[in-house]
Amino acid sequence: MNNMTIEHFQILGIIAVLLFGGGTLIGVFRRMKGGFGPQNLRVIVIVLVATFVMLAGCIKPEYLNTAIGILGAIIGYIFGISRDAGVQTGAENSKSQEVETPR
């Protein structure tokens, strides 16, 4: 193990990121129903961007801060979508619970 250099660890990191990203992309395609709709396309783009950003972080350690920042933006985007969807369904539920009073 003492013969391992930084280059070896970089190569192992690149292989791990490619395997994880490729496996995730295969999982996305297996679960995808209804073709390339807007939601499916968003998931595919997020997986591809995250994979390429992590690859950049593995290849050049100087890019690691950039990679973490972009991954944080992706996570914020995902949580923003889920929060907006929750607010929208909450508004729809309140409208359906309104009762008209007879005059």
Instruction: Enumerate the domain spans of the chain.
Output: 6-90
- 7-51: pLDDT as tens digits: 888 888 889 989 999 999 999 888 888 777 777 888 888 888 888
Query: Cα 6 to chain center, whole Å?
Result: 28
| Longest CA pairwise span in the chain (Å) | 87
Banded pLDDT at 89 (limits 50, 70, 90): very low
Q: What angle do CA 59, 63, 14 make, to 5 degrees?
A: 25
Long-range contacts of 19-22, Cβ-Cβ distance < 8 Å, separation of 24 or more: 20/51, 21/47, 21/48, 21/50, 21/51, 21/54, 21/55, 22/51
Query: How far apart are the C-alpha atoms of 100 and 97, rounded to whole Å?
Result: 10
* pTM greater than the 0.75 cutoff: no
